[in-house]
Structure 1
């Protein structure tokens, strides 16, 4: 146990977060996402897991350390529901709440069609699979920068 770190963040996830650079994408994936096969195609090259936690809880922990990119319109994207792209289910509302809390203000997620999400995930830095069993618990978070200390 370390002070100041969310206890669900394991060493592998911390290493990936530290290794990522500005503009790199992190995927939070639910249990139904083809996580392992897609993770093999990412920069990191292997699947990481935050087991037994929801997507919202994973987002909260990750965003306690990782800044979101402020240079793009939507540094966080949610996977759209097939046939209902504007519907935002509870799992996505929970992640939105974690984003807003981390940013200290409303920061609405963008959305991305399911198959476009798969392609974007292959180009990401890392895939982190959660224990989320609700459908459409998949998200892309783009890493931002920390300003110099004054």
Structure 2
């Protein structure tokens, strides 16, 4: 444990966040995400939901300002309304990033394919909702 680093950020997760470079992506995946077959680096965050991880990660993690939409979620329009979790994710992201204008939406299979190229996939206990964060440069 470290001061000011939330306990839900495991040693493996803090290592991944510190190792990522500008433009790298990290997936915060729900419990149903096929993470084992769609990741290069798998990190478990059992008992934690995506919203909690967003609250913990975003004070430490700059979103990429070089792209229009550095936060990617699954396009659920073919199944109906978006998951309720998306509104919570929006609130949290807006609180930590003044430039946030909304999600880039990916079809399910495209999101899975994108996860394969991500720096890491973090599997949570979230019931419904996946988020990909694209890292921006750390401005000193």
- TM-score, normalising length: structure 1: 0.86
Q: Distance in 2 between matches of 1:112 and 1:74?
A: 12
Partner of 2:114, secondary structure, is helix
2:61 matched residue in structure 1: 66
**Cα distance between partner residues in 1 of 2:99 and 2:65:** 13
How many correspondences in the alignment? 140
Question: After the TM superposition, which residues 22-61 of structure 1 pair with which residues of structure 2 at under 5 Å, given as runs?
Answer: 22-39=22-39, 42=40, 46-61=41-56
1:78-106 CA deviation, whole Å, 9 max, x = no partner?
Answer: 11115157x33211111111111111465
Give the Cα separation in 2 of the matches to 1:33 and 1:133.
10
Q: Where does structure 2 lack aligned partners over 5 or more consecutive residues?
A: none
Structure 1 runs, 4 residues or longer, greater than 6 Å off = none
2:69 touches 2:100 (CA, 8 Å); kept in 1?
A: no
Runs of 5+ consecutive residues of structure 1 not aligned to the other structure: none
Provide the aligned C-alpha RMSD in A: 1.6
Q: Verify the 8 A CA contact 1:82 1:114 in the aligned structure 2.
A: no
Q: Is the partner of 1:83 in helix, strand or coil?
A: helix
Q: TM-score by structure 2 length?
A: 0.92
Find the aligned partners of 1:130 and 1:20 in 2 and give their Cα distance: 20
